[in-house]
Amino acid sequence: MQVSVENTSALERRMTIGVPAERIEAEVNKRLQQTAQKAKIPGFRPGKVPMSVIRQRYEADARQEALGNVIQASFYEAVVEQKLNPAGAPSVEPKVFEKGKDLEYVATFEVFPEFEVTGLDTIAIERLSAEVADADLDKMLDVLRKQNTRFEVTDRAAQNDDQLNIDFVGKVDGEAFAGGSATGTQLVLGSGRMIPGFEEGLVGAKAGEERVLKLTFPADYQNLDLAGKEAEFTVTVNTVSEPKLPELNEEFFAQFGIKETGLEGFRTEVRKNMERELRQAIKSKVKNQVMDGLLAANPIEVPKSLLSNEVDRLRVQAVQQFGGNIKPDQLPAELFEEQAQRRVVLGLIVAEVVKQFDLKPDEDRVREMIQEMASAYQEPEQVVAWYYKNDTQLNEVRSVVLEEQVVDTVLQKAKVTDKAVSYEEAVKPVEAPQAD
């Protein structure tokens, strides 16, 4: 077999491969002999059909299959011989495909970039530290109560945070418009669900009262036909209900699966959850800084095929998340290119860190992570056992732990500054940078 390689770009390779005709014919004959053993042809017993008849009927198909098999096998042999690492399937262009002649074809493909991760000591990391204070716990209990607010009908006038049951009809230029009317709608005043002025215009209303609201749709309203236009809404208030926060009692605790431990037991469980959230938030922020630092310190070119595959994966994920009748390939690739670029580049850099520092998943950390996840369930032992009986899920945890070990490796060499902050600041999501 003859092989020559041409570098057509930083990552693209054009490889010309020649395969002796004898290898092709041997593969064709092998297939014809297999066919002869089971072919059923009228006038002949199975296995007794003359090879001339078999060749006449089946040689074209056998040759096509043999060529495909030889191309696949010879390409693999060639990349191993040339010490190349293809990133995706090759594009094959035949040069000589004639019977009786040596097979010659050109395979064009991309290879994974070869690089060494550098600049770890230039990465700056701000590592937060915080504790769950009693005041943080009290605030979280208030949040939990508000999330479980119930509403009771009242005779008084409506005020912010009340829930109103309303009917309304909206008109623009005296004509009702699509989506501008509803009956029996529940609306919490101050929720910001309606356009500016709508909810404010119902403050002070009582059950049975009708109000006419003259409003203007925002200039950036999502429905361009209504954006910036004046409208009139006739609103009938059916009922006014005031919010009632639940008491911190056994009934309330039971909603969270906590029984017979009283208020102190409930506070203990909530604190545990907050501490778990705090650890994850701090870990996530450190990881994001590490990944950003690795990207900045190691700009690399990546194969177009990997980017294309990642875009396709993101398209499928978007369709699964948002539903609808749209097909993944109908979503514009440009929507996902930036995210795909980041994910592919980081995947290559992280894999290279693992290789350079010879990292292996720490099985003790794997078990600790599984136990921490299991602690959120009522029967953690069963959850731990389930993970260790399911290789797919267990390997996913191992991958997460290995990524954490990559972060730890970078932290050992990076410029790390520790900063004490409040619980709220530590768990607050990082705001995405604004586009120019």
Q: Is residue 40 part of a domain?
A: yes
My answer on whether 159 and 96 are in the same domain is no
- Count of all residues that appear for the chain in the document: 436
My answer on whether 281 and 176 are in the same domain is no
Residue ending a domain, among 244, 273, 288, is: 244
My answer on whether 236 and 265 are in the same domain is no
My answer on whether 10 and 48 are in the same domain is yes
Q: How far is CA 137 from CA 59, 271, 272, in A?
A: 79, 6, 10
Name the pLDDT band for 419 (thresholds 50, 70, 90).
very high
Q: Give the pLDDT confidence of 287-315 residue by residue, as tens digits.
A: 999 999 999 999 999 999 999 999 999 99
My answer on whether 70 and 169 are in the same domain is no
Q: Give the pLDDT confidence of 179-202 residue by residue, as tens digits.
A: 999 999 999 999 999 999 999 999
Q: Give the type of residue at 67.
A: L
Q: Is residue 59 part of a domain?
A: yes
My answer on whether 267 and 240 are in the same domain is no
Q: Is residue 187 part of a domain?
A: yes
My answer on whether 280 and 416 are in the same domain is yes
**Residues whose CB falls within 8 Å of the CB of residue 255, separated by 6 or more in sequence, listed in order:** 148
Cα gap 3→77, rounded to integer Å: 10
My answer on whether 82 and 161 are in the same domain is no
Per-residue pLDDT at 372? 87
Q: Which of 32-46, 54-68, 227-241 has the lowest mean pLDDT?
A: 32-46
Looking at the structure of the chain, the number of domains it has is 3
The CATH code of the domain that includes 32 is 3.30.70.1050
Q: Give the type of residue at 78.
A: A
The CATH code of the domain that includes 383 is 1.10.3120
What is the residue range of 225's domain? 150-244
- Check if the beta carbon of residue 219 is closer than 8 Å to that of residue 170: no
Per-residue pLDDT at 435? 44
> Count of H helices and E strands in the chain?
11, 11
My answer on whether 340 and 272 are in the same domain is yes
Q: How far is CA 255 from CA 55, 251, 273, in A?
A: 76, 7, 15
Q: Is residue 143 part of a domain?
A: no
- Check if the beta carbon of residue 305 is closer than 8 Å to that of residue 87: yes
Q: Give the pLDDT confidence of 211-256 residue by residue, as tens digits.
A: 999 999 999 998 999 999 999 999 999 999 999 999 999 989 988 8
Q: Is residue 310 part of a domain?
A: no
My answer on whether 183 and 274 are in the same domain is no
Question: If you search the block for the tokens 């000591």, which residue do you land on?
Answer: 121
Q: Give the pLDDT confidence of 269-288 residue by residue, as tens digits.
A: 999 999 999 999 999 999 99
Mean pLDDT, range 135-164, rounded to an integer: 96
Q: Give the type of residue at 3.
A: V
Per-residue pLDDT at 405? 97
Name the pLDDT band for 348 (thresholds 50, 70, 90).
very high
My answer on whether 280 and 402 are in the same domain is yes
Cα gap 90→79, rounded to integer Å: 11
Q: Is residue 251 part of a domain?
A: no
Residue ending a domain, among 59, 84, 110, is: 110
Look over the chain and give the mean of its residue pLDDT values, rounded to a whole number. 92
Q: Is residue 68 part of a domain?
A: yes
Strand locations in 44-198, DSSP E?
Answer: 91-96, 103-110, 124-129, 150-154, 163-172, 175-188
Residue 354 token pair: 């693992």
My answer on whether 240 and 267 are in the same domain is no
Of 56 and 401, the structure prediction assigns the larger pLDDT to 401
Q: How far is CA 403 from CA 155, 241, 349, 387, 417, in A?
A: 59, 51, 11, 19, 21
Q: Is residue 419 part of a domain?
A: yes
Mean pLDDT, range 100-110, rounded to an integer: 93
Q: Is the pLDDT of residue 436 over 50?
A: no
Residue 389 token pair: 């009986």
Per-residue pLDDT at 320? 87
Q: How far is CA 207 from CA 49, 71, 238, in A?
A: 94, 80, 5
Find the DSSP H helices in 101-254.
134-147, 250-254
Cα gap 99→24, rounded to integer Å: 9
The CATH code of the domain that includes 239 is 3.10.50.40
pTM: 0.76
